[in-house]
Structure 1
């Protein structure tokens, strides 16, 4: 019962993509380790945000966040009575910024893209008293490009700035502990994901400075997941999670950018983030189950950079799962109320939202 209901809940949290921290694409869950027997899944989701702002009551940005698609693959199999192995392919972080060129905003034409991919290998060992420990290694790459176009009133003359990084591969680790009570579909799992520091070669150029090539460390931050579930009635499951991410450790501060657009780094966060998810799943019959999920990331009131002018979010998601023999097909949709923010330019971004949708296909064998 619990596995079927959680398929719907997991999709609303994962396959429809997270908006946490403005950069997350994956919540880095270890839940696949708790599937029964051999198990494989594929998820794909799309998020279409609508984020607009205004500077001085005159300059309108237009929708400056492009829609994005994420996917993940997972495979799990037992290695014995007390040992399980899982492999996960996902996209931990990402960004798609695209200020419309037709807008009156002084950043019109500015774009930025951040891409990543990670392969995670996990092993779980079952101990007495329904306790298990797990851990593993994550290998990931990141790369990015930025093209900033500024015009008055941001400075006296139009300026162009470009940054391009190489693709850098680095590794981190995962450790966790879980407790289960199968009779009531109860489980609590605590997972720590280590920080991963990438040494990125950055090629910078602008219309007002010489070009430069430097190497700079960028830390993809550490995080902690607390995931839980329990049966609360026949065929009904309560589930959720709390996720903390050390976003203050994530800083991109190339020197030419700093010289052209002082005094803030290109990307930085003044506060860490905590994201809360809570949902209820219900099994209707042998073929159909569904779930509803509410998520919330509190706004911190921080001044934000111009590539990520959002501050927290609240969302509600609905999902349904169809089970046929050993296959589960889940579809979900999510409405996201995106928190408003004030940027370093003094622009006000508010009344923004987004829609996410996703599909997950899972097979047990």
Structure 2
């Protein structure tokens, strides 16, 4: 049993469009996908996705202001996600790839409503990562891969509303910071049936942000002291992006038919954001509270003819504690995706995909002990993606 190479690569490319995550483990956006290193030959690929979350909730029974029943519409803002890769063979046993992606992100904004629990709260996180990765084929069945990743992050968080008490109006700006980590992995393959099982470890990466804390627009940082004796609000905040494991699998099950699966586990419990003043005011608490979790996806791809291939996949992220950070007001997800690829000629393939996600219900919380402040339910997200690859 064999699978035509054009079908295998086109199907894998279409499946990769699901990387434009509407809701995934923690702050994931790209799943830190490195499967470009397994493409045959020399390949340049560019991808672009857009996500439209539909996330809304209300204070409802949790309202702190008498008579208030604040509603929060469009809490999750639309966002773009771009990536690109360049893979080439050095010799029959050694290959290299440069992968650029946006691994993490957040775009949360609660509408400002006087007397509401959370109105005005927001979070924004932008990231870019460049990974240089190499692969060595030990023999036709076994290979190892690894490389270096440079990660750039910047963001801001604002707390607003009655639920935050004296910290309502608090904001921290995290200036752009670069830091480095690594990637290690191994794979087993049987090319005659398009079988591949690849396990990849992504190291955690620690960022040291110059951060500016304000309360009601007034700088409140602890150090340094200005010449006038005041505080300029500038300090340092350490944030660690999570270590993660990716398991990517595929196998041919019939002529021109491929089954694939992906599992990702990320250790987000180590991703804490506790700027100097905020930490002092809250006894060392973190602005974020994300649990370790995994996501899983399984799908099937089919080559219909020499030009067209398609795929369908379903995915799942389990629910955890219903009480969640207001900066991530969902709890688990389920999704279905459809993708297709058109082989324009021997060099160029154009792919596209759509993904629909059902987001799990959740209760944003604040305080110690954790106390529900709002409810979010029946939320969804839609993602579209396109990709173009060329062989040379």
Q: How far apart in 2 are the matches of 1:49 and 1:296?
A: 17
Q: CA shift at 1:210, angstroms?
A: 5.4
Quick check: 2:250–2:261 contact (8 Å CA) kept in 1? yes
Hey, what does 1:87 align to over in structure 2?
98
Which of residues 4, 9, 18 in structure 2 aligns to 1:3? 9
**Partners of 2:262 and 2:41 in 1: CA distance:** 24
Match of 1:76 among 77, 87, 106: 87
Partner-residue secondary structure (3-state), 1:166: strand
Contact 1:159 1:208 in 2 (8 A): no
Counterpart CA distance in 2 for 1:106 and 1:317 is 36
Aligned to 1:254: 275
Runs of 4+ aligned structure 1 residues displaced above 4 Å come to 258-264
Is 1:164 matched up with 2:173?
A: yes
> Which residue, out of 30, 35, 41, partners 1:31?
35
Is the aligned partner of 1:339 residue 2:350?
no
| 1:297 Cα deviation after fit | 0.5
What is residue 44 of structure 1 aligned with on the other side? 48
The aligned residue for residue 19 of structure 1 is 23
Between structure 1 and structure 2, the one with the greater Rg is 2
Kindly provide the CA deviation profile for residues 227-278 of structure 1, in whole angstroms up to 9, marking residues without a partner as x. Answer: 0000011111000111100011101012433466678421122x31111010
1:20 alignment partner, SS class: coil
Q: 2-side partners of 1:262 and 1:64: how far apart?
A: 28
Which of 338, 342, 350 is equivalent to 2:377?
350
SS of residue in 1 equivalent to 2:324: coil
Aligned to 1:245: 266
CA distance in 2 between counterparts of 1:85 and 1:185 reads 21
> After superposition, where does 1:86-165 map in structure 2 within 5 Å?
86-101=97-112, 105-150=116-161, 152=162, 155=165, 159-165=168-174
The answer to whether residue 199 in structure 2 is matched with residue 190 in structure 1 is yes
Unaligned runs of 5+ in 2: 1-6, 62-68, 222-233, 367-371
Q: Distance in 2 between matches of 1:305 and 1:273?
A: 15
Q: Which residue, out of 268, 271, 276, partners 2:296? A: 276
| TM-score (normalizing by structure 1) | 0.94
Paired residues in the alignment total 360
In the alignment, the residues of structure 2 paired with residue 210 and residue 90 of structure 1 have an alpha-carbon distance, to the nearest angstrom, of: 34
Give the match's secondary structure for 1:8: helix
Q: Distance in 2 between matches of 1:306 and 1:362?
A: 39
CA contact (8 A) 2:358 2:379 kept: yes
What's the CA shift string for 1:283-323, capped at 9, x where partnerless? 11111110001110000125211111111110000011110
